[in-house]
Amino acid sequence: MNFPKELQYTKDHEWARIEGEFAVIGITDYAQDKLGSIVFVDLPVVGKSFKKGETLITVDSVKAVAEVYAPLSGRVESINESLRDNPEVINRECYGQGWMAKLKIGDSGELSSLLPAETYEAFVAEEEAKG
C-alpha cells in the first residue's frame, strides 16, 4: 500500500492534498484496493457546499457501492470530469489522475482532524489485523 507523506487522510479512507485555501480530495490506495475495479463515479456539482462528514461522492465498483465523505467542510471548486468516462483511473492512480474533487476549505480549524500518513498507515494496519 502506498500512503504519500505529503497528503493527509481520514479514517474513512479519503485523502486530502492541501493547496493554500483548497483541498484536492480522493480515495486512498487502500480504499481503491478494497473496492476492486471501479466502474462509475457520481461526482458532486461544482459550487455546492458540503459539511465535513457529508457524502461528497459515490463510487460504484464490481464489489460494492461506497460513499466518499467530505474530509473538510467547503464548496466544490472543480471536479475531475475525466472520471465520468474513465473511472478505472482511480484504481491505477488514486493519488494522481484519480483525484475526484477540489474544495475551497470552509473551516481551516478542521484541518487538525486530518491524519498524517504515518497515523493513517497504522490505522490501516489495525483494520487489516482485525480482519
Which of these, 21, 3, 17, 81, lies nearest to 45 by C-alpha position?
A: 81
Domains defined along the chain, listed by start: 8-107 (2.40.50.100)
Place of cell 465535513: 52
Dump pLDDT digits (tens) for 27-70: 999 999 999 999 999 999 999 999 999 999 999 999 999 999 99
Phi first, then psi, for residue 26 (nearest 5°) are -160, -175
Beta carbons within 8 Å of 8's beta carbon, 6+ residues apart: 15, 16, 17, 18, 71, 111, 114, 115, 116, 117
Dump pLDDT digits (tens) for 81-99: 999 999 999 999 999 999 9
pTM of the model: 0.95
Tally of CB atoms within 10 A around 38: 25
